[in-house]
Amino acid sequence: MENMILAGLEEGVGSCRLISVDRQKVVEILNLPDMFKVDSVLALGYPAEKPLVEEMKESWKYWGIRI
């Protein structure tokens, strides 16, 4: 999965690993044989926005960071 995330990133494709999914429903939708087990799902898509890096000037509490 990490390789797919990195390959997508190289092409400008964003990703999000989903682990809280209805695994049985995924098996049914994809008609997977019993020999396969669904561990997680990787959502891929083109981001609607770009990440923004902001310099922390005052308190870290604004970002909700817990130490």
The pTM score is 0.64
Confidence band for 65, pLDDT divided at 50, 70 and 90: low
How confident is the model over 29-44, as pLDDT tens digits?
999 999 999 999 999 9
Q: Which residue has the tokens 């087990």?
A: 37
Q: Look at residue 27 and give its three-state secondary structure.
A: helix
What is the pLDDT at residue 52? 80
Q: For the chain, which residues make up each domain, given as ranges? A: 2-48
Rounded CA separation 38/44 (Å): 17
Tokens of 9: 């990133």
What pLDDT is stored for residue 33 in this prediction? 96
Per-residue buried b or exposed e for 2-29, using 16+ beta carbons within 10 Å of the residue's own CB = eeebeebeeeeeebeeeeeeeeeeeeee
Q: Tens digits of per-residue pLDDT, 4-57?
A: 999 999 999 999 999 899 999 999 999 999 999 999 999 999 999 887 887 777
